[in-house]
Amino acid sequence: MKLVFATNNSNKIAEVSNLISNQIAIISLKDIGCNEDIVESEDTIIDNAVLKANYIKNNYGYDCFADDTGLEVDFLNGKPGVYSKRFAGENSTDELN
């Protein structure tokens, strides 16, 4: 059985593959020919993960799972959350964030 992990992060693919049965092959977005950037437009980490999984199912027909991560700081009322990657602006770098 093949299961798509909605990521191109090879470290995430390897980590999940090591945790599950050998009967399930975890494949990446690249493996299914998905080269487009799936815009994470939702307000929560969970909703962004659901958005990515639904996008793959609806556009490629594969069973899929996804995750999304973000840094949530209590002192900042949960921010930056889903905006962790672009907290310092849309074109920011890791150093600026």
**Structural contact between residues 20 and 26, judged by C-beta atoms closer than 8 angstroms:** yes
> How many C-beta atoms lie closer than 10 Å to residue 83's C-beta?
16
> How many C-beta atoms lie closer than 10 Å to residue 53's C-beta?
20
Q: Give 6-26 pLDDT, tens digit per residue.
A: 998 899 899 999 998 788 999
Cα 24 to Cα 17, 33, 62, distances in angstroms: 8, 19, 14
Q: Residue type at 66? A: A
How does residue 56 score in pLDDT terms, banded at 50, 70 and 90?
A: very high
pLDDT of 66 > 60? The answer is yes
Least confident of 29-33, 70-74, 86-90: 86-90
Whether the predicted model's global pTM rises above the 0.85 cut: no
pLDDT of 86 > 70? The answer is no
E strands in 1-97: 2-5, 25-27, 64-65, 71-73, 79-81
Active-site choice (47, 68, 74, 94): 68
User: Any idea which residue has 């958005």 for tokens?
Assistant: 51
Q: Is 68 among the residues known to form the active site?
A: yes
Q: How far from chain centre, in Å, is Cα 75? A: 25
Over range 55-59, report the average pLDDT.
Answer: 96
C-alpha–C-alpha distance, residues 66 and 78, integer Å: 21
How does residue 60 score in pLDDT terms, banded at 50, 70 and 90?
A: very high
**Comparing 94 with 24, which gets the higher pLDDT?**
24
